[in-house]
Amino acid sequence: MKMEPLSICAINATITLDVTPTGKPKFFVKLDDCAGTAIERLQSCYDYRFSCDMKNDQNIFDDGSKYLAYSFYPKSSTSSFLLTCRCSQSDLSKQESHDWIAKGMTAAIKKLNSLTETA
């Protein structure tokens, strides 16, 4: 079997905290395209798969202080999109973190769709 390299095109969502002018916390989804970050997050999921709780229906890896999710989407036979999302906001409950992970992955998928529609 011949091993072929696979190019990774990344879309990473990170749940970020900001503060409104009135001092209230405001969470939002920040997107970036760093493949190194995506690989690091994927490796974390792999490392934690036996030692942490995984919400199976949403593929969310949970080590108690951070929540990670990922998904692969094929681009071609030699490249793939890797979408990830991370939430490590201590102000959020577990359920709120899971909800934000879902929002982050949705934002990453929308970004992926916008890229593939224009290609």
92 lies in which domain range?
7-118
DSSP letters spanning 32-86: E--HHHHHHHHHHHHHHTTTSEEETTTTEEE-SS-EEEEEEEE-SSSEEEEEEEE
Number of domains within the chain: 1
Question: Is 110 part of a structural domain of the chain?
Answer: yes
Give mean pLDDT, residues 13-23: 94
Q: What is the pLDDT of residue 4?
A: 84
Question: Is 95 part of a structural domain of the chain?
Answer: yes
**Contact between 74 and 83 (Cβ < 8 Å):** no
Tens of pLDDT, residue by residue over 77-105, are: 888 999 999 999 988 998 999 999 999 99
> In this prediction, what percent of the chain has a pLDDT beyond 90?
55
**Contact between 87 and 66 (Cβ < 8 Å):** yes
Give mean pLDDT, residues 39-48: 84
Question: Is 1 part of a structural domain of the chain?
Answer: no
Question: Is 106 part of a structural domain of the chain?
Answer: yes
Q: What is the pLDDT of residue 22?
A: 94
